[in-house]
Structures are given as structure tokens and as C-alpha cells.
């Protein structure tokens, strides 16, 4: 399944006025990078993958309709998968983008693969 192009367009539109953003195809989806780090991505499984502070992930899981991002059947710490009702309005989408971009800005630099 390919990522939702309409969702990617909505994300792109909301990121226009922020920090410099780059895009990169990643795992069949489209990632949006802020400060050189993935902030959010239109997932190939549908919905949006959002970078979150691992310390606040449990609160978001308890208070919203999201689930941990899964890779190879395992939850990935610091990433949530957001779908459907959580992305319907511009306000809702903007909230998740804000969480992802704020987390990306303070995340440590990623180590290059060796």
C-alpha cells in the first residue's frame, strides 16, 4: 500500500510557514524532516507516523486514539501511529505535526550508518 498522497499534501501545506523542511521517501511512505530529523511521515500503512518524546508517549496513548508504531512486529519507542479520527480536521493534524516537529528539533543528531 502506498502512502496517502492527500495526507502528505495536507502535512506539506501546514509545514510551509515553519522551519526548513525536507522530504524523503522512507519505508514506502513519505517522511518530513525538520532539523535533518524525521518529524512526521505519511505512512505506507495509512495514517501518520509521529515522533514523540518517549517520556510523554504513555500520556498520549492514554488520552488519544493512537497506537505505538510497529516495525517488524515490535513497538518502536518514541514513535506513534495516528489514524482516522485523530487527523480529520486541520487543527487535529496541526497538533500532531507540532508534536513531531518539536520533538525532532530537540532530538539528538542521528548517527550515520557505518
Number of domain units in the chain: 1
Tell whether 77 is covered by a domain: yes
From residue 7, alpha-carbon distances to 63, 69, 102 in Å are: 23, 18, 20
> Which domain range does residue 86 map to?
5-106
25: which strand partners? 30
Q: Which three cell numbers stand for residue 17?
A: 510557514
Dump pLDDT digits (tens) for 14-58. 997 767 899 999 888 999 999 899 999 999 989 999 999 999 999
Q: Confirm whether 112 is domain-assigned.
A: no
HEC assignment per residue over 66-97: EEEEEECCEEEEEEEEECHHHHCCHHHHHHHH
Give the predicted TM-score (pTM) of the model.
0.89
pLDDT band at 72 (very low <50, low <70, confident <90, very high): confident
Look up residue 58 and give its DSSP letter: H
**CATH number where 82 lies:** 3.30.1460.30
Amino acid at each position: 500500500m502506498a502512502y496517502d498522497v492527500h495526507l502528505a499534501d495536507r502535512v506539506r501545506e501546514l509545514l510551509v510557514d515553519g522551519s526548513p523542511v525536507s522530504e524523503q521517501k522512507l519505508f514506502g511512505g513519505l517522511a518530513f524532516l525538520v532539523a535533518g530529523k524525521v518529524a512526521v511521515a505519511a505512512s505506507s500503512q495509512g495514517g501518520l507516523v509521529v515522533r514523540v518524546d518517549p517520556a510523554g508517549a504513555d500520556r498520549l496513548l492514554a488520552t488519544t486514539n493512537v497506537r505505538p508504531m510497529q516495525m517488524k512486529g515490535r513497538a518502536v519507542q518514541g514513535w506513534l501511529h495516528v489514524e482516522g479520527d485523530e487527523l480529520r480536521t486541520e487543527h487535529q493534524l496541526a497538533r500532531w505535526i507540532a508534536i513531531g516537529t518539536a520533538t525532532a528539533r530537540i532530538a539528538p543528531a542521528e548517527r550515520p550508518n557505518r
